[in-house]
Structure 1
Amino acid sequence: MLLYEQLADQLRTQIAQGALRAGERLPSIRQLASSHGVSAATAVQACLQLEREGIAQARPRSGYFVQAAATATPATRPSRRRAPGAVSNPMLQDVLDMLSRDDLLPLHSATLAPELLPQSGITAALSHCLRHAPLAALDYAPPQGHLALRRQITQRYAQLGASVSPDEIVITAGAMEAISLTLRTLTQPGDVVLVESPTYHGILQAIAALHLKVLEVPNLPERGIDVERLDQLLQKHQVRAAVLVPNFNNPLGSLTGDDAKRSLLASCARHGTIVIEDDIYGELAWSGQRPSPLRRLDRHGIVVTCSSFSKILPPGLRVGWIVGADWTDALVRAKYFSTVGGASLQQLALAHYLQRHDLERHLRRLRKALADNAQRLREGIARYWPAETRTCNPSGGLSLWLQLPQDIDTYATFEAALAEGIGTSPGTLFSSRGDYADCLRLSCGLPWSETLDRALLRLGKLAAKNRR
């Protein structure tokens, strides 16, 4: 056995015996070389061998860390709803109370911590607009939004190979206004809207507010939208619109592949169903390989894309947009009747920021940080939570979805965590009828810290304490 293999075997044994636990740092290359009487090159080879085996993970400028043991993926379950019906989940009303609290460690909120945001660049852009164009910055924005910002959004779509005109973009107050405005424009009370299960609770709240019926199609943890089931549902039911999150679904973080996207578009076109695409997480591919929005693959003219800057830039700016296709004029009228015009300052500042700053550089740093946060969360769960806990392994977005053992009262765990100042999102929030009672969603948007590590330890203890 070669020297590096012997060293790797010794480290492997320490990990198996628990002397080195998931998430803990291996001794440095210098320490390994000194304590084992080998060269630095041999120590490096040993660590590389453990990395190839998936036992260790290299982190830039930090060294090698013990990789969390692979956990089972949450079980996939078909939607319990067999026919369209009203949203009937009382938990959706309670979420506002949690969101209004500012005393929680926000593991419940799919937003970024301030330190992950380019605050100085945004502040400089806001100041520039107030100094150089105060009248425009403090006036109403046009109903469709400022042209300078619409052009910048168009350029980002062009980089993806999607043909989008500034004339078909409507600026909104975030992605939720974009989705709500699109639903209000394209549907009538009583229409059936297809959504994924599980899906973001804000989508369900918008559907309920507009008195629409909901039909659920399964989203599978590491495959995305169940396209075969979607086609079966469209054959059986008349569906006016489908609100889908194919790129890093919230809460699963799953990615629907391009072939599946093409299939679902063909199915929707065949059955006369409009697709409302929520692409708010598309920029957060941790690999850096930005997945295609449905708009890029649409050959049928059936996609309305909704998105926002809120997941990559300060969310308080509240700037989102709709790519309205043939429905743009109707959407602009609806926007005018609803809010007259948006806020100019944020739109002009974002246009200035996108012109003068390197957004891609920020995104590269952000994606790496989120990938690291998610990995450390999974390592912490492997260390501290009941052994049977299942976790998704997403490749992008801001969410980590967990399935707890069946004998644990997940809602009691959620309430106990709230009482101790830790926010989590119970799985029941992400279903029209309160399914997924054994699941939780955590946010990956917080940089790793001792506070976060202690919170995961406490959550694991609360979960174990709430066994039925």
Structure 2
Amino acid sequence: MLLYERVAAALRAQIAHGTLRAGERLPSIRRLAEGHGVSVATAVQTYLQLEREGLVVARPRSGYFVRASTPQLPASPPARRRVPGEVNNPALLDATEIRARGDLLPLHSATPALELLPQGALMASVSRCLRRAPAVVLEYAPAQGHLALRRLIAQRYAQVGAPVSPEEIVITAGAMEAINLALRTITSPGDVVLVETPTYHGILQAVAALHLKVLEVPNLPGQGIDVARLDHLLQQNSVRAAVLVPNFNNPLGSLTSDADKRALVDSCARHGVVIIEDDIYGELAWSGQRPSLLRRWDTRGMVISCGSFSKMLAPGMRLGWLACNQWTDALVRAKFFSTVGGTSLTQLAMSDYLQRHDLERHLRRLRRTLADNGQRMFEAIARYWPSDTRASEPQGGLSLWVQLPARGDSRVLSKAALSKGIRTSPGVLFSSRGEYADYVRLSCGLVWNERLDRAMKELGKLAAKLDGSKVITP
């Protein structure tokens, strides 16, 4: 047995026997080497082996920790017959953002904390634009958006194998305006729109506001969109459009495979269904490997891709976009009729930032932090929450989807959490029919600190009271 295998076996046994517990910090590489009388290189190899086995996790600037056992995955959506219908969920009418309150911990918001974003560099870009071209930044922006920014977005698409011309891009006020403009352009009241279940409540609100009918296709934990079911639904129903989140669905964080993406695009094309692809989380792969877009597999021009800088750089700048082809002119008109144009200052400042800074370097740091946060939340659930709590295993994005123990109601949990200064998102918001009452969505985008750890402990206590279970304490 090689030296590193011998040291790994010793640590493996300590983890199995509970001597080293989930979330505990392991000895530094130097201390491990000294304690076992091996070289630093051997100690490094030991931790790399245990990391490959999923027993330990590395945290930037913190060292190695015992990895929490991943909670069981949530149950898949009920296998019931789905038919088109209007959005019928009163909870969605109240799902508007409460003004930021410093006393509330925003575990409800799928947005990265400002501390994780390049605030200084972005503000410097804003200042440069104000100094150098004050007349330009105070004028109306073109309805389609400034060409400099459209070129930079097109370059990013080319890097991920989904080339698009700058002339096919329309700048919007975030991804939600992009989705709304696409729906308004290609649908009419009464049309049927396919969406995932569960899915982001903003998509459901947009469908409801435009008086469209919704048809739900399951998104399966750990697998992504149920493509076989999608094809069956399209065979049985007349569907005009599909609003889909194949890369890190909100709230599940699941990733649809390339094979399923190709089959999905082919199925929609055969049935004449326009796909509105919400790729707002595509850059936030926890593995560091950016997944493909549906647009990559589109050979018939049936995919409109929507993206945004909100989740990776600047939520408050409200900068998103549409990447399309045959609908470009219609979308530009819809944008002009809606808001005339976007904001010149933010568009030019974002262009300045992207030209001066390495976006990929920032994304690498952000992805590592989000992956680390997800692991810490798993550890907190293992320590503090009832033992039969289930949680999704996100592959990217900013959300953790948690299924409460039997009889647990996330609306009751969210109300109780507010009294403790914690805000969460009850699961009923992610269904057109008010399902998923026993689920809650939590954000992985906050900076991990003692306050957040205490909040997870408090939520565990509240979850235990919902069904009388006992909380697991360290």
TM-score, length-scaled by structure 1: 0.95
Amino acid at match of 1:440: V
CA distance in 2, matches of 1:31, 1:357: 38
Q: Which residue of 2 aligns with 1:425?
A: 425
Deviates more, 1:125-134 or 1:285-294: 285-294
Residues 25/130 of structure 1: CA separation in 2 closer, same or farther (3 Å cut) = same
Residues 102/184 of structure 1: CA separation in 2 closer, same or farther (3 Å cut) = farther
Listed one character per residue, the Cα deviations across residues 20-55 of structure 1 (whole Å, up to 9, x for unaligned) are: 321110133444455x56335565565455434432
CA distance in 1, matches of 2:465, 2:353: 49
CA distance in 1, matches of 2:313, 2:45: 40
Q: Which residue of 2 aligns with 1:38?
A: 37
1:427 deviates by: 1.1
CA distance in 2, matches of 1:295, 1:467: 45
Q: Which residue of 1 aligns with 2:472?
A: none
Contact 1:175 1:307 in 2 (8 A): yes
CA distance in 1, matches of 2:420, 2:288: 36
Give the number of equivalent residue pairs: 467
The DSSP-based 3-state class of the residue aligned with 2:58 is strand
Deviates more, 1:229-238 or 1:60-69: 60-69
CA distance in 2, matches of 1:178, 1:461: 40
Amino acid at match of 1:39: V
TM-score, length-scaled by structure 2: 0.94
CA distance in 2, matches of 1:378, 1:131: 47
Q: Which residue of 2 aligns with 1:296?
A: 296
Q: Which residue of 2 aligns with 1:157?
A: 157
| 1:72-221 matches, cutoff 5 A | 72-78=72-78, 80=80, 82-96=82-96, 98=98, 101=101, 103-221=103-221
CA distance in 2, matches of 1:100, 1:449: 20
Contact 2:77 2:197 in 1 (8 A): no
Amino acid at match of 1:343: T
CA distance in 2, matches of 1:375, 1:201: 25
CA distance in 2, matches of 1:64, 1:399: 24
Amino acid at match of 2:338: S
CA distance in 2, matches of 1:345, 1:9: 58
Give identity over the alignment, percent. Answer: 69
The DSSP-based 3-state class of the residue aligned with 1:207 is helix
Contact 2:407 2:438 in 1 (8 A): no
Unaligned 5+ residue runs, structure 2?
469-474
Q: Are residue 446 (structure 1) and residue 440 (structure 2) matched? A: no
Residues 207/120 of structure 1: CA separation in 2 closer, same or farther (3 Å cut) = same
CA distance in 2, matches of 1:5, 1:149: 52
Contact 2:7 2:36 in 1 (8 A): no
CA distance in 2, matches of 1:58, 1:360: 21
Amino acid at match of 2:134: P
Q: Which residue of 1 aligns with 2:274?
A: 274
Amino acid at match of 2:132: H
CA RMSD in angstroms comes to: 2.0
Residues 184/129 of structure 1: CA separation in 2 closer, same or farther (3 Å cut) = same
Contact 2:3 2:38 in 1 (8 A): no
Amino acid at match of 1:381: I
1:300 deviates by: 1.4
CA distance in 1, matches of 2:261, 2:43: 45
Residues 293/44 of structure 1: CA separation in 2 closer, same or farther (3 Å cut) = closer
Q: Which residue of 2 aligns with 1:341?
A: 341
CA distance in 2, matches of 1:156, 1:307: 11
Contact 1:201 1:429 in 2 (8 A): yes
Contact 1:81 1:215 in 2 (8 A): no
The DSSP-based 3-state class of the residue aligned with 1:57 is strand
The DSSP-based 3-state class of the residue aligned with 1:466 is helix
Contact 1:409 1:467 in 2 (8 A): no
Q: Which residue of 2 aligns with 1:235?
A: 235
CA distance in 2, matches of 1:224, 1:51: 25
Q: Are residue 326 (structure 1) and residue 365 (structure 2) matched? A: no
Contact 1:400 1:442 in 2 (8 A): yes
